[in-house]
Structure 1
Amino acid sequence: MLVDDNEIDIFINQKILEFNRFAKKLLTFNSGRTALDYLGSSALEDLPEVIFLDLNMPVIDGFRFLYEFSKFPEKIKKKSSIVILTSSDNLRDKEKVKVNVDVIQFLSKPLNDQKVDKIRMMLQKV
């Protein structure tokens, strides 16, 4: 799942994930609210293994998304790991995210083959 308000970033990252055959089904959402609604209303088997989340979005930013996600039942949180995928190079943002148990990685946009491989390796360990 890609959650980003920037359609160009979604397009680029989606193509990289598709090229690397990262997921059988790739969901994209341009707002945190619609992504949270999907996660909260979908069957467990339909949930993504990874959520690539942008931090800087209007209305519900990545930090608010993480807060709302933390309220979900454990079965949802165990099914979906979060990777922060952002253009933010703010050290404070990184520190805030680092303490979140649902986040497995903090990456700068855009994705590339090496970053996708790194996430794959991390998921094998989880």
Structure 2
Amino acid sequence: MLIDDNEIDLFINQKVIEFCHFTKRLLTYSSGREALEYLLSAPVVDIPDIIFLDLNMPVVDGFRFLYEFSKFPDHVRNKVSIVVLTSSDNMRDKEKIEVNPDVIKFLSKPLNDQKLEQIRVLKENQPSN
């Protein structure tokens, strides 16, 4: 799942993910609220293993998304790894993200093949839930 309110960033990162064959199915959302609604209503088998999340979005920003996600049932939270993908270079943002147990990586936009490989390795080395 890719969540970003910026259409250009969403398009570019979607194309990189598709080009690198990172996933068989990619859901894209331009709103954190829409993504949360999907995650709340979707059957567990349809919930993605990885969410690429922008921080700076209107209405439901990345921090609010993470807060709401932290209230999800364990069977959902244990399935999903969140990668914060942002243009923010704010050290406070990074520090807040690094202590979040649902986030496995903080990356700067845009995605590229090396960054996706980092995520792939992180996922492979994660303990099974």
Give the TM-score normalised by structure 2: 0.97
RMSD: 0.4
Alpha-carbon distance between aligned partners in 2 of 1:79 and 1:111, rounded to the nearest angstrom: 22
Answering whether residue 11 of structure 2 is matched by residue 11 of structure 1, we say yes
Alpha-carbon distance between aligned partners in 2 of 1:40 and 1:98, rounded to the nearest angstrom: 24
Aligned to 1:120: 120
Aligned to 1:56: 56
Alpha-carbon distance between aligned partners in 2 of 1:78 and 1:8, rounded to the nearest angstrom: 31
Percent identical pairs in the alignment equals 67
Deviations 1:50-84 (A, max 9, x none): 00000000010000000000000000001111000
1:101 maps to a residue whose letter is P
Alpha-carbon distance between aligned partners in 1 of 2:79 and 2:30, rounded to the nearest angstrom: 21
Aligned to 2:28: 28
Q: Tell me, what secondary structure is at the counterpart of 1:83?
A: strand
Aligned to 1:100: 100
Give the TM-score normalised by structure 1: 0.99
Q: Structure 1: give runs of 5+ residues left out of the alignment.
A: none
